[in-house]
Structure 1
Amino acid sequence: MSNETPETLLNDVKKLPGLPGVYRFFDEAGQILYVGKAKDLKKRVNSYFQRNLSSPRIERMVTRIRSLQTTVTRTETEALILENNLIKELSPPFNILFRDDKSYPYVMLSGHQYPRLAYYRGRVDKRHQYFGPFPNSWAVRNSIQILQKVFQIRTCEDTVFKNRSRPCLLHQIHRCSAPCVGRITDKNYAEDVNKAMKFLEGDHASVMAEFEKAMFTYSENMQFEEAAMMRDRIADLSQVLQQQSMDAVAEGEGDVDVLAIAMKGGLACINLAMVRGGRHLGDRAYFPKMGRFKEDAMPDGDEVMQAFITQHYLSDDAESLKLIPRVMVIQDFKDTPDNEELQQLLNDKAGKKVQILRQPQGQRKHWLTMAQNNAELALTKRLTEAGGQEARTRSLIDVLNLDIENAEDLRIECFDISHTSGEATQASCVVYQKHDMQSSEYRRFNINDIIPGDDYAAMRQVLHRRYANFQEIPTEKQPHIVLVDGGKGQVSMAKEVFDELGLDIHMIVGIAKGEGRKVGLETLIFADQREPLTLGLESPALLLTAQIRDEAHRFAITGMRAKRQKARNVSRLEEIEGIGAKRRQKLLARFGGLKGVVNATIEELQQVEGISKALAEQIYKQLH
């Protein structure tokens, strides 16, 4: 191995200090290969250039190393933090990466006189209270339904709440106590909110005891309607807890995360089951974003587990702090020593002692078994789907006679145009590569300076903007197929653009809808005089092109709708003299949207920073 390594690199390794730090390996083109941390930089980096390496994966990486960079830190703990940050920033191909752009959802209680229950995903705000995180949106919505049924907390928007004159349907079906029209006192509503908070925190017994006490008090005071209401709430709460199943609710368990791994077929999966307030809320599967491992180059389970814990819990954002539970139950691996640095880092990050259990007992052992089974199921499903996608990719390569040896390399870029009667025209570009849609590479293009509704002009503009500097695109990012949603007209327009730019028109493939737009009747249209292809519903190649086209259509429509809504929401405010972008933003933020601004009085408008009495009167007059 050392014979294949440049002498200058080996000399650099010899000069490294025996101190803790982070090292980065680069290939001949200067692209990052790997980021690692070490207690002793010299010993750790030198170990890569010995004869006996730990795995074929590392061997392949070492053959490509041409340079390195190091950063010395004071402690190994600091090195671990820096390593985590660099992995997330640089996405090195030989690191185990757990990239998930979706944040966790929460149950939110707004900071209002009558707090509102809401589903929330995003940055937390100190004005409100958040409970969670939850593993998926279903768990949040299920919890909100429980809280509505048992505690009757409102879920309506503040603008709706403010303008109600009579109770809504939710009050009629006993899902809201209607504080908007005074059907409940401030004191009683606040008590219901406090009970809901206790329930979310897992104090089910205390909530049940308070309901029972209130029921007997009402009964003794001959307030039988109120006593019956409390009786019904107790029944609803008991039913909810029973529905969680006898092994899903554990009093006193608090917050627990359960982590299990499954590894098979060159893929790894970590299943994270979340217990909050003693309630098992479900789980979420994570897969390393490092391509598919070769069977003989799979990392060991503990390496995958450590990578997940580091990247999942030790980010610098505020949400990661809420992710760290008091107890973590982790699948045990034989002969794996405890990582003291990681344990201490979790404690410091959480500001409390985090208990890590590798051999749980009782209820926690049962949860771990469930997590292991779910990891196996998720991995089997992923392998099945991946096998199907590979077959579709290979089928399309064969149908189009493409000279591509490795099917993973096939790159398809698909374009679609979306608008509403010419309004808010947008073009979308989605990317398919490595047998999957590459959502991080999707792009939207605002289409301007064309006749509204002219799809051909929109397609010309987006293709020009996308491929004007085609030669500067890295080879691995250049598409083999440019798929356009449309028939001969769209393909002809794409051909004109490619001829102008001097690009290969063989790349252009149009997918024309069949009679009645039925799936399976589509026809592939080419720009290079090839005969159109009608492949039929059973063709894996057609299923792949239809899948990519539908994703481009979805992406274009969501972008167009958002653009249209934004334009419609602010257009009336833009017409008012003296209302610029900053004042408009403050108005919309204060009143929750254009509807709230319209419903506001002159006095309320004046309370917004930068809005004088004269301007408030002008706004009110213009909107009415």
Structure 2
Amino acid sequence: MEQHILEHKCFRSVGSRAWEREHEEIFVVVHKIADKIKSFPETPGVYRFFGKNKILYIGKAKNLKKRVQSYFRTSIKEFKTNKLVERIEDLDYLTTNNETEALLLEQNLIKSNQPQFNILLRDDKTFPYIKIDDAHDYPSITFKRTTKAEKNLFGPFISAKGTRTAITELQKALKLRTCNDIFFSNRTRPCLQYQIGKCSAPCVGFISKNDYQKDIDTTKSILKGNFKKILKNLAIEMKDYSANEKFEKAGVVKRKIRILERVEESQIIFSGGDQTKVVSVASSGEDVCFVVIDIEMNSFTNIRRFSFKNKVNKSELNLMEEFISRLILSNPQIKEIVCSNEKFHSPFFPNIKISFPTSGKKKRWIDMAKRNAKNLLSLKLQRSNKYSLSINYLKENFDINEEDISIVGFDVSGGVGDIQTVSCVFFNSEGPIKSKYRFYHVPLKHAKSDLSALLFGVKKYLKNNFSINLIIIDGGLTHLKYIENGLGKKAFEVVSIGKGEKRKYGIENLFFKKNKVEFRHDDSMSKIFLDVRDEAHRFALKNFRSTKRKNLTQHFLQDIPGIGPKIISRIYREFKSLEDLSKEDYLSSALKLGINPMKAKKIHDFLKEMYN
């Protein structure tokens, strides 16, 4: 009976035997899914739906068999759920001991696999971290902004200013280096930081590796909030020095204690207090926006905004449950959630207080979160509407659906004979996807013309194997023909945007296939084309200027780890040009330069791309 329901669900819109015979291969998939679901246990766990070579959806269930069967019942009417089911080609499950374990496993799998139909959180900002690079014998302590935590990062912290202050204070107390590795490896005498008492000068051997590592371990302990233990140990150390009449060393330790006490009191690094999160949501159709206000020590510290697509039409209550679960799992120090939805309740976190205020300070926090969530949603909807006419044009002329839009824009910066670079930007129907941006230096053999440089950039970007259905290049009909001839047979369309009359913005021409479209006659459909072109130009200009500035202050070979001014000087003494070096065997050049063969190979590979 269950198998019959499953088959009926997947083929309820078929309508004829002829269609069934024509699509006979789909029946095999359905029978396979029906047979698999029969074997699912009635226990807690996580289930996964697979499409063509990728995971479509990951979910948790108290009863795996019943939950998965519910997707295939004829009573399911939601369009988006039907859309998911139609793509399913396989499924599997993982059992857990209880619902809480299922929740933890589900969130970890979603985080690592990023399925298309799950909630994919995208915070709109990066966070300040303190980085300690353990790969170096004498690790540096530096400031870093990123959206993802890594093994050697501590944080995220409340504010960038506070994080930089923390680094300064830790440097004063423990005299850690903050310089980059190239600067460190080329020092022959202590720098100014040592002279003013803010560094122990490990670059010239003024401190042993073991002693420096002790200071690094102390720093890590402080960044984890272990102030009391560290201060207690330092107090014991100070007393020992005093007892042995080593008063200078005792004075150094005393200064460390004062600085660290100031850091602890001002709560620059680690608040030590319970955290409260104020959460509100706003949604419209597929677009969902959450705002989280961070509260520490009963005062406002930060506000974060998240957005995602609700592709399976979940209710706001279910969205709130899933979002808050992920929020708590990623922030174990949370003690209270102040929520805007009075119906929300989570049995998975009994130790966390859930409150729904109706007055007072917490009510003002909720109102603030609601306003911000609505504002963020409004901005997202405006952005979506901005491209509506362009999306219709893509559908009519290129047969590209809104959910499949994958556009890449290319632009070249730099003149012939100078440094040339190619920028690549990626857009979907919502706008830019910066994780898929790329920036390439053009080898000398391709830098003879803009056309050759552009073709090089397009071919190199295609090696990323991103799904692409349209390429936009900045140039006229000549550029379009050159790129199309250079690429040969392709699974995507190529268009070019050329300057129009008097080269004014907004009256450009769009060239594709054998067509020429003048934007001045209908600029409503030009939005996405011009935005991609302009973003590619902005990205190209930014990186080109950065490259030019960098080349004015240091040699480009210093981009290679372990290559500094001394080795570069040797290269110019031993070889007439870098081109001659690129033609020499790397083992031979290693002997001539007196360097490690692996370093010589890195230089050789770097130059080979430029000259060969």
TM-score after normalising by structure 1: 0.61
Which of 537, 543, 556 lines up with 1:550 in the alignment?
537
1:597-608 equivalences in 2 (<5 Å): none
Identity %: 22
Matched, 1:392 2:386: yes
Counterpart CA distance in 1 for 2:539 and 2:421 is 11
Counterpart CA distance in 2 for 1:171 and 1:112 is 19
Q: How has the CA–CA distance of structure 1 residues 370 and 70 changed in structure 2, closer, same or farther, with 3 Å as cutoff?
A: farther
Report the 3-state secondary structure (helix = DSSP H, G, I; strand = E; otherwise coil) of the residue aligned with 2:447: coil
- Aligned 8 A contact 1:415 1:485 in 2: yes
Counterpart CA distance in 2 for 1:198 and 1:4 is 57
Matched, 1:18 2:42: yes
Residue 301 of structure 1 deviates from its aligned partner by: 0.9
Which of 292, 303, 306 lines up with 1:286 in the alignment?
306
Aligned to 1:619: 594
Which of 159, 164, 168 lines up with 1:141 in the alignment?
164
- Aligned 8 A contact 2:386 2:527 in 1: yes
Query: Which amino acid counterpart does residue 619 of structure 1 have in structure 2?
Result: G
Counterpart CA distance in 1 for 2:462 and 2:192 is 54
Aligned to 1:478: 469
Aligned to 2:322: 303
RMSD of aligned residue pairs (Cα, Å): 6.4
Matched, 1:108 2:78: no
- Aligned 8 A contact 1:152 1:175 in 2: yes
Q: How has the CA–CA distance of structure 1 residues 534 and 569 changed in structure 2, closer, same or farther, with 3 Å as cutoff?
A: farther
- Aligned 8 A contact 2:80 2:312 in 1: no
1:313-462 equivalences in 2 (<5 Å): 313=330, 325-331=332-338, 334=342, 338-340=346-348, 356-359=351-354, 376=370, 379-394=373-388, 396=390, 410-418=405-413, 427-442=422-437, 450-461=445-456
Deviations 1:139-174 (A, max 9, x none): 543432343466654312456456656664546777
Counterpart CA distance in 2 for 1:263 and 1:435 is 18
Residue 434 of structure 1 deviates from its aligned partner by: 1.9
Q: How has the CA–CA distance of structure 1 residues 383 and 160 changed in structure 2, closer, same or farther, with 3 Å as cutoff?
A: same
1:173-252 equivalences in 2 (<5 Å): 176=199, 200-202=223-225, 252=272
- Aligned 8 A contact 1:22 1:41 in 2: yes
Residue 258 of structure 1 deviates from its aligned partner by: 4.0
Aligned to 1:264: 283
- Aligned 8 A contact 2:406 2:469 in 1: yes
Q: How has the CA–CA distance of structure 1 residues 114 and 535 changed in structure 2, closer, same or farther, with 3 Å as cutoff?
A: farther
Counterpart CA distance in 1 for 2:379 and 2:294 is 23
Matched, 1:156 2:179: yes
Report the 3-state secondary structure (helix = DSSP H, G, I; strand = E; otherwise coil) of the residue aligned with 1:93: coil
Which of 516, 529, 535 lines up with 1:530 in the alignment?
516
Counterpart CA distance in 1 for 2:555 and 2:366 is 45
Aligned to 1:605: none
Report the 3-state secondary structure (helix = DSSP H, G, I; strand = E; otherwise coil) of the residue aligned with 1:156: coil
Deviations 1:171-216 (A, max 9, x none): 67775576768999999999987876665344668889989x99xx
TM-score after normalising by structure 2: 0.62
Counterpart CA distance in 2 for 1:281 and 1:593 is 43
Report the 3-state secondary structure (helix = DSSP H, G, I; strand = E; otherwise coil) of the residue aligned with 1:530: strand
Q: How has the CA–CA distance of structure 1 residues 503 and 38 changed in structure 2, closer, same or farther, with 3 Å as cutoff?
A: closer
1:2-151 equivalences in 2 (<5 Å): 3-6=8-11, 11-12=34-35, 13-14=37-38, 16-25=40-49, 32-50=55-73, 56=78, 59-61=81-83, 64=86, 68-71=90-93, 73=95, 75-76=97-98, 80=103, 83-84=106-107, 86-88=109-111, 90-98=113-121, 105-108=129-132, 116-119=140-143, 131-134=154-157, 140-148=163-171
Aligned residue-pair number: 539
Report the 3-state secondary structure (helix = DSSP H, G, I; strand = E; otherwise coil) of the residue aligned with 1:302: helix
Query: Which amino acid counterpart does residue 384 of structure 2 have in structure 1?
Result: E
Counterpart CA distance in 2 for 1:405 and 1:543 is 18
1:572-611 equivalences in 2 (<5 Å): 588=561, 592-595=562-565
Q: How has the CA–CA distance of structure 1 residues 141 and 46 changed in structure 2, closer, same or farther, with 3 Å as cutoff?
A: same
Unmatched segments (≥5 aa) in structure 1:
314-323, 344-354, 572-587, 601-611
Deviations 1:565-607 (A, max 9, x none): 9972488xxxxxxxxxxxxxxxx5xxx443586799xxxxxxx
Unmatched segments (≥5 aa) in structure 2:
13-29, 571-586, 600-612
Residue 267 of structure 1 deviates from its aligned partner by: 0.9
